[in-house]
Amino acid sequence: MTGKEAVDEVFDIVDPGPGADQLPAIVLRVHVNPGAGRSEVVGRHGDAIKIKVAAPPERGRANEAVAALVATTLGVDPGQVSLTSGATSRLKRIRVEGVDLDSVRRLLTEAMADDGGGNVRGRRGVP
């Protein structure tokens, strides 16, 4: 399986809604390990992207950390990222609005292949 096909397994493309000139949205499948030493994309977990977050799974803090890391990793505004399911589960679905699919594929491939930890923006972790 090529890199593009492998990364395409971790998200679904969804209709951006009215207005044909809008960029598409994706729903990213994420497997989360809360309470880690630092926040980072660490690879794949089945058909999901595996993410560690430093925040504990209390009062939505881990969910907020996941959304922030996804926004940073994909280079989008945090307002474009929302949790669609899995608020109390390790397996979550994160919707990201208005994304360039080629950029998403490239950034996710880089993030999942980063053997040294950290995210694709060159930071070792996101608080």
Minimal CA–CA distance to 112: which of 64, 48, 55?
Answer: 48
Burial of 116 per CB tally in 10 Å (0-12, 13-18, 19+): exposed
Give CATH superfamily name and number for 3-113. Answer: YggU-like (3.30.1200.10)
Tens-binned pLDDT, residue by residue, of the chain (127 aa): 445 566 888 999 997 666 546 889 999 999 999 999 999 999 999 999 999 999 999 999 999 999 999 999 999 999 999 999 999 999 999 999 999 999 999 999 998 886 544 444 444 444 4
CA separation for the pair 55, 37 (Å, rounded): 9
pLDDT at residue number 112: 86
Minimal CA–CA distance to 37: which of 54, 62, 14?
Answer: 54
pLDDT at residue number 35: 93
Angle of helix 61-74 versus helix 101-113 axis, rounded to 10: 110
Tokens of 12: 């679904």
